[in-house]
Amino acid sequence: MIFPIVRTALIGLRRDRGALALSFILPIAFFTIFAVIFGGRRDTTPKVSLMVVDEDHSVASERLIQGIEREGSLSVKKRPAPKQGVEQPDYTAATAEAAVKAGTAPVALIIPHGFGKNPISFGRAEQDRPTIQLLKDSSDMVAPQVIAGLLQKVAMTSMPDIMAEQGSKYMDEYAGGFTPEQRKRIEAGLEALRRRESAESGGQQTAAADPNRGMPIAVTSRDVVGENKDNPMVSFYAAAIGVMFLLFTASSAGGSLLDEAESGTLDRVLSSRVTMGTLLAGKLCFCSLLAFSQLVLMFIWAWLVFKLDFIPHIPGFVVMGLSTAFAVGAFGMVLASICRTRAQLGPLATLVILIMSSIGGSMFPRFLMPEAMQKAGLLTINAWAIDGFTKVFWRDEPVSHLWPQVLVLLGVGVVLCAIARRLARRWEYS
């Protein structure tokens, strides 16, 4: 008796292409996407982008930069990419800071004037040494930590002679040939070291107050983006999760077209004064309005509960919200127009939206993905919408800076509308 039950269920599954796709295609697609994102293939392991500004132009600064460039996990840029074939000047502290704010790279390293005079120092000499500045975007919590650690490593490995020279200088200064006097001074120095260690073991505050103590080079880091945000990642997740659910809502709302086609209401509507173009426009307005309302609710919730800085960003939010809602609404119309029945729509929408969301950054930030995946993400509505909302809420950019995202989202919306209109011809007449 069990066999006929299994056979019947298998036949049912085989004939339900949506269920079949959800059962077999979606898991494979998801596995592939996340395997690629998390570096399943060595050659796609993401590199951390770093901008370097050399204000010192000394031998030591150049050797430090060469050492950084040799690090396989870093992608080092000293100047912006050429524009129309024209080489651009090297980054300055100001242009590098602007580039971090614009999201070109998450971190910029500024090697100050005088670095070469005293690049590596320990003990008392630490007080006078120049400090390398690390300008960072605090939305990327990984890259600055990686770079700070690598910098100390590079300092020690890229300048061994300087390390030796500094070592003998300190040896000469503290030991002086190990005369009795020298021994006394060493003892005194060790005693001082012991006292310091003892004091530090009493709490972490001293070390925390000066993270460069004991490090060969001095580095200070400063947030240049998001420094005043109470909850740095909330704007990202409001946009990321919001857009994904917008897509689901729009596909469901677009499905009302299929409901009407299946019930015969569509025929009745089209036999009135309403044309297919008018009907689609009406449905698009409904889907877009619903999507925009959902975004408003999501961001107001984030403002009230997670202290998102909403009020000053309302103009940017409205521009991005309307553009996103339009693109998402058009997406819903296309999905509905492709499907023959409501039953087909559910699995197809789930399949497409989850793939778009995983590539487009709704589930995992795109800046942590391999470069190829980041580029692939640009084929999705999610990526452009999230980038736009990030500009508004994270980078505090003015509305005028949103034009690339707005243009793409509106363009995508128009193209999808045209496709939906074309596909909807099958409902017009038989």
Partner 1 sequence: MASAPVDSIPSSLLLPLRIEGLVKRFGELTAVNGVTLELKSGECLGLLGPNGAGKSTLIRSIVGRVIPDAGTVSIFGERADSAGARMALGWVPQELALYPKLTCRENLESFGEYHGLRRGALRTAVAWCLDWAALTDRAQEPVKNLSGGMKRRLNMAAGLIHRPKLILMDEPTVGVDPQSRNRIFEMIEKLRDEGISMIYTTHYMEEAERLCDRIAIIDHGRIIALGTRDELVRNAFASRSEVLARFANVDDSVAAWVKQRGGLYDNGMAQFTIEHASEIAGLLDAATKAGHELADISLRKPNLESVFLHLTGRELRD
- Please report, as ranges, the residues that interact with partner 1 according to CB under 8 A: 263-265, 267-274, 429-430
**Cβ distance to partner 1 smaller for residue 3 or 429:** 429
Residue of 361, 377, 371, 370 lying closest to 38 (CA atoms): 370
For 35, residues 6+ apart whose C-beta sits below 8 A from its C-beta are 41
Residue of 358, 362, 414, 413 lying closest to 386 (CA atoms): 362
**Cβ distance to partner 1 smaller for residue 268 or 375:** 268
Find the shortest distance in angstroms from Cβ 245 to partner 1. Answer: 22
Find the shortest distance in angstroms from Cβ 430 to partner 1. Answer: 5
**Cβ distance to partner 1 smaller for residue 66 or 263:** 263
Find the shortest distance in angstroms from Cβ 318 to partner 1. Answer: 29
Find the shortest distance in angstroms from Cβ 256 to partner 1. Answer: 9
Decide: helix, strand or coil at residue 339: coil
- Report long-range pairs for 257-260 (Cβ below 8 Å, ≥24 apart): 257/283, 257/333, 257/336, 257/337, 257/424, 258/336, 258/339, 258/341, 258/342, 258/345, 259/342
Residue of 414, 360, 419 lying closest to 390 (CA atoms): 360
CA dihedral (158, 161, 167, 169) in degrees, to 10, reads: -130
**Cβ distance to partner 1 smaller for residue 168 or 278:** 278
Find the shortest distance in angstroms from Cβ 337 to partner 1. Answer: 18
**Cβ distance to partner 1 smaller for residue 206 or 341:** 341
**Cβ distance to partner 1 smaller for residue 201 or 430:** 430
* Burial bucket for residue 346 (CB in 10 Å: 0-12, 13-18, 19+): middle
Residues in the chain: 430
How many Å apart are CA 145 and CA 367, to the nearest integer?
Answer: 15
**Cβ distance to partner 1 smaller for residue 267 or 371:** 267
Find the shortest distance in angstroms from Cβ 343 to partner 1. Answer: 17
214 phi-psi bin (left φ>0, alpha ψ -120 to 50, beta other): left
Find the shortest distance in angstroms from Cβ 293 to partner 1. Answer: 19
Crossing angle (nearest 10°) for helices 276-306 and 234-263? 150
How many Å apart are CA 158 and CA 155, to the nearest integer?
Answer: 6
